[in-house]
Amino acid sequence: MTKVSVGVIGLGNMGRGVAMNFAAAGYSTAVWDIDNSALKYFKDWDNVFIMSPDKMAFEGATLFYVVPATLEIEKTLLGDEGVLANALPETAIFDLTTSFPEDTKRIAELASEKGVYYMDAAMSGGATGADSGELTLMIGGDEDVFDKHRDLLGSIAKNIYYLGESGAGHAMKLIHNMVVHTIFLTNCEAGRLAESAGISLKDMIDVFNNSNARSYSSEFRFPKHILSEKWDARSRVYNLNKDLGMAVRMADSMGVKAHYTNQTYNFLEKAINMGMSEEDYSLLYPQFDTIRDSDPI
């Protein structure tokens, strides 16, 4: 009899909430992270088991990867002790990362050769959405596999969109993030301009949120993490830079000119060069002028 039905690999800001919600929904859940301290949170859960990814696959669990990107996933998939060599036939793997679509397609082909289904399931909603089980998922891959796992996905997501073949979910996530991050930095620029004009940042955000300039950034990010001076958006500058770099790469590969995306990416590259890679990205606001005026890359 199968011991676990779900496996979650990666227990950071997003993965911990994903694992919590599977377990809370009654699924026998296996968890794994390269950081042992991340595993301690689940040591007293009755239906959560610490287990390496290959063992999860051997037990027939549906696997969910919540790690930075494809590179980290691929390291656990290949080799004699990898997931693909140990997975039961028709095992489903859901990739919740933000990754480059062509890399996703390549891994899906490798998985298919082993009789394993590899689904991109890019997520939006941030750590708050992961904690509450109200993520939005963007799915690419075999539609029958998606339909079979719809109820399971509903344990962690409020909105689930099937978008097409392998890579479609990750392409949608890159498009989504190029908009989210560009709008965030536009609001930062607007805030610095408002303050220079003698208008408080709070007043600007209040006006935005009651007019056509409102956005997720103005309605949530600025009040919760910047106006509050908590600086706790729970995502690194590195993540924004990684996402925009892939969006630029995707646009270039398709011959699409992405001017605003490139400008945002260049700004984030400056922030990285200033040593902000591991900083919470809400701190881009107080550092905005310094980053903007730093030497060109």
User: Beta strand 135-140 with 117-124: parallel, antiparallel or unpaired?
Assistant: antiparallel
What global pTM score does this model have?
0.93
Q: Which helix (H) or strand (E) holds 260?
A: helix 259-273
Let me know if residue 1 belongs to a domain.
no
Could you tell me the residue range of the domain that residue 112 belongs to? 6-166
Q: What is the pLDDT of residue 73?
A: 94
- Kindly state whether residues 244 and 133 are assigned to the same domain: no
User: What's the mean pLDDT in 92-103?
Assistant: 96
How confident is residue 286, by pLDDT bands cut at 50, 70 and 90? very high
pLDDT in tens, 38-91: 999 998 999 999 999 999 999 999 999 999 888 889 999 999 999 999 999 999
> Roughly how many angstroms between the first and final C-alpha of the chain, as a whole number?
57
pLDDT value at position 296? 76
Query: Is residue 123 located within the same domain as residue 98?
Result: yes
Considering its fold, how many domains does the chain have in total?
A: 2
Strand ranges in the chain using DSSP code E only, listed in sequence order: 6-9, 29-32, 48-50, 62-65, 92-95, 117-124, 135-140, 157-164
Give yes or no: residues 77 and 213 share one domain.
no
Q: How far is CA 232 from CA 17, 211, 282, 288, in A?
A: 16, 26, 7, 17
Classify residue 297: in a domain, yes or no: no
Residue 221 located in a structural domain: yes
**Does the pLDDT at position 19 exceed 80?**
yes
Q: What is the mean pLDDT of residues 100-118?
A: 96
CATH number at residue 250: 1.10.1040.10
- The last residue of one of the domains, among 149, 166, 183, is 166
Q: d(Cα 123, Cα 65) in Å, to the nearest integer?
A: 11
Whether pLDDT at 1 is above 70:
no
Tokens, residue 196 = 């220079």
Is 139 in the same domain as 175? no
* pLDDT tens digits, 129-183: 999 999 999 999 999 999 999 999 999 999 999 999 999 999 999 999 999 999 9
Out of 132, 166, 200, a domain closes at 166
Note the pLDDT tens digit of each residue in 235-245. Answer: 999 999 999 99
pLDDT band at 297 (very low <50, low <70, confident <90, very high): low
Report the pLDDT averaged over residues 265-293.
Answer: 97
